[in-house]
Structure 1
């Protein structure tokens, strides 16, 4: 197989979008491969793509209404058949069932990537119903963790566990340029736990000049900013919005704090570890524990244990030797999550 179509709702700022952009660029760089990205809803492409990747938007609207989705999926079938692809890879659990449905009868194999928490149900309920009915018809299922594979085996027995690949990063090894910054990166929605991190930071009475820096945007940003004001933390909490200079921002920070309440496989945590940052995270159901070996490659705290999280964070702030040890050990992900290694695994799975 050397003709690949990837299907995404958009290529905006987000974890799945970042992974797909890395895979597209790596696959198209292999001689003989042809790659097309189909976006169900027109949106700004936040991530850079190789000029050899063909991009097609099916609907001239950022809206994800049911009407727009049905319209886009009808156009999808025609687009896929006309391009004479060898395989289709769909990378969003909400739309995977509908991509499968739209291509029934074409004879084109469809692989779906489900990046959701293995115990979460899709909403509305009709989406969960379609997932149960249609996932078994896919050629294969791609998940991020062993736990997810175990839980979702009932949906499709042909499963690949594929951790997120690392993007190409600029590693800065000069520790002298670092500042007393605790950084958090991620889309600002309720599941990412930004309110929880602000609360934890407020529990540390003597902050010693440390700042908490949020990178990312989303529907919860205004609420989080209001909460910061309520706690009188505006002088020590910074909001930078969505940024493209992530490597530089990570490099000048001293700690990465992660408080997601639910995860698939956290890109932000992965990239912080690759940069050599000491990381502290809630041990939510899936994701962080696949990357962090508690006490050796980072710190895991029981979900919603705010007191323990604050204690461990304060300890990291005060202990430079511990920060150096955890940060150095975290760099193992540079080899484990190498993009070439993961691309090879994906292509082997598709072609077997």
Structure 2
């Protein structure tokens, strides 16, 4: 009998959680499962999805700032999701990120269907921002789930900061699988050697810290490329101009050929103020990048062993970040050593190994 699975997320427009859920949906569809991907919001799909995976968009949001529209969107999301899950009757529903966890978890509770929830970001930017009533509501949805899946073990500590969540004992840690890129193109992506960073242009990603650190480097022939889009673009452009780094620090936007950039980068830098479990760091290491990461909550310390397969830098320590980048740029032996050891993540975070862990949870 074919196993029916539903995956639920806000959208597949781009981001680490979106990439992980896409890879999992593809993996299970290849295992002859019937897979439906439910997106709460209509948006462009930025990831390659197997043709056998059915994609359903629930609501096309326009002006969500208007109170009446917000009420209308909430009603449509709930009604359409409830109707779809009632029709599909999945053997398990796998939800990613807080809002999808809430909506899908509530619908599954009403219908008596099994479900898994998964937080992908630090709780400081999700559950801890909600009022006590909504936290109480989330607690009961999460308590009834088969498991609360976290990509980094350290995220468990975040839940313990909320008193009622201390009672939960259904946590599971499953790291993110490494993305399998196509073979890199040998065509040069930048006319100079470059440092690379990737992520949404938002404050928590700390690109302002990275630009500051770069400004202290004595590396006239090495550019800094930052791939991604987001609300901080204008502020970052102003910072680049103010530091006289125009033409050296380049905001190159969202790239579908990231493998080419990873393959050619001298150093990859993760400068985040907080993370859930940084996909881009895993991807960079898998491609053999020598990496420097800020030791933020959560994930980098579970990926990098300081001085062995990369450098860990204290959170928001711009001086140490600059020195660590400089050490790698000016020591080809160290760069090669970090590169070789980083590639072991292709085994520890393989899609086969990670998916087996998910499969065990789903089928239990």
Q: Where on the TM-score scale, by shorter chain, does this alignment land: which range?
A: over 0.9
Q: Which string of whole-angstrom CA distances, capped at 9 and with x for unpartnered residues, describes residues 52-73 of structure 1? A: 0001111122666643233212
The secondary structure found in structure 1 opposite 2:276 is coil
Q: Which string of whole-angstrom CA distances, capped at 9 and with x for unpartnered residues, describes residues 10-49 of structure 1? A: 0011010000110011110003x10001111100101110
Instruction: Kindly report which structure 2 residues correspond to 1:243-262, keeping only aligned pairs within 5 A, or say none.
Output: 243-262=255-274
1:183 to 147, 172, 196: 196
**How far off is 1:138 after superposition?**
1.5
- Return the alpha-carbon distance in structure 2 between the equivalents of residues 60 and 151 of structure 1: 33
**Could you say if the C-alpha distance between residues 101 and 317 of structure 1 is closer, same or farther in structure 2, counting changes exceeding 3 Å?**
same
**How far off is 1:151 after superposition?**
4.8
When normalised by structure 1's length, the TM-score is: 0.93
**How far off is 1:155 after superposition?**
5.9
Q: Which string of whole-angstrom CA distances, capped at 9 and with x for unpartnered residues, describes residues 238-294 of structure 1? A: 111001001011111111011000011000000000000000011002111110000
- Return the alpha-carbon distance in structure 2 between the equivalents of residues 177 and 233 of structure 1: 19
The secondary structure found in structure 1 opposite 2:110 is coil
**How far off is 1:170 after superposition?**
3.6
Indicate yes or no: 2:297 matched with 1:285. yes
How many equivalent residue pairs? Answer: 349
- Return the alpha-carbon distance in structure 1 between the equivalents of residues 256 and 315 of structure 2: 30
1:60 corresponds in structure 2 to: 60
Q: Is the 8 A contact 1:40 1:73 kept in 2?
A: no
Instruction: Kindly report which structure 2 residues correspond to 1:153-232, keeping only aligned pairs within 5 A, or say none.
Output: 154=166, 156-170=168-182, 180-204=193-217, 206-232=218-244
- Return the alpha-carbon distance in structure 2 between the equivalents of residues 26 and 257 of structure 1: 29
1:123 corresponds in structure 2 to: 129
Question: For structure 2, which runs of at least 5 residues remain unmatched after alignment?
Answer: 160-164
**How far off is 1:172 after superposition?**
5.4
- Return the alpha-carbon distance in structure 2 between the equivalents of residues 233 and 322 of structure 1: 27
- Return the alpha-carbon distance in structure 1 between the equivalents of residues 354 and 308 of structure 2: 24
Q: Which string of whole-angstrom CA distances, capped at 9 and with x for unpartnered residues, describes residues 192-240 of structure 1? A: 0011101111112x21310000101011111111110111101211111
1:28 corresponds in structure 2 to: 29
RMSD: 2.1
Q: Is the 8 A contact 2:24 2:355 kept in 1?
A: yes
Q: Which string of whole-angstrom CA distances, capped at 9 and with x for unpartnered residues, describes residues 116-145 of structure 1? A: 225654434254343223211222111112
The secondary structure found in structure 2 opposite 1:223 is helix
1:316 corresponds in structure 2 to: 328
Q: Is the 8 A contact 2:10 2:99 kept in 1?
A: no
**Could you say if the C-alpha distance between residues 21 and 312 of structure 1 is closer, same or farther in structure 2, counting changes exceeding 3 Å?**
same
The secondary structure found in structure 1 opposite 2:321 is helix
- Return the alpha-carbon distance in structure 1 between the equivalents of residues 158 and 227 of structure 2: 32
Q: Is the 8 A contact 2:16 2:279 kept in 1?
A: yes
Deviates more, 1:12-21 or 1:156-165: 156-165
**How far off is 1:177 after superposition?**
9.9
1:74 corresponds in structure 2 to: 79
The secondary structure found in structure 2 opposite 1:58 is strand
- Return the alpha-carbon distance in structure 2 between the equivalents of residues 247 and 139 of structure 1: 36
2:143 to 123, 136, 145: 136
Deviates more, 1:304-313 or 1:144-153: 144-153
1:8 corresponds in structure 2 to: 9
Question: For structure 1, which runs of at least 5 residues remain unmatched after alignment?
Answer: none
1:100 corresponds in structure 2 to: 105
1:146 corresponds in structure 2 to: 153
1:328 corresponds in structure 2 to: 340
- Return the alpha-carbon distance in structure 2 between the equivalents of residues 15 and 169 of structure 1: 14
1:242 corresponds in structure 2 to: 254
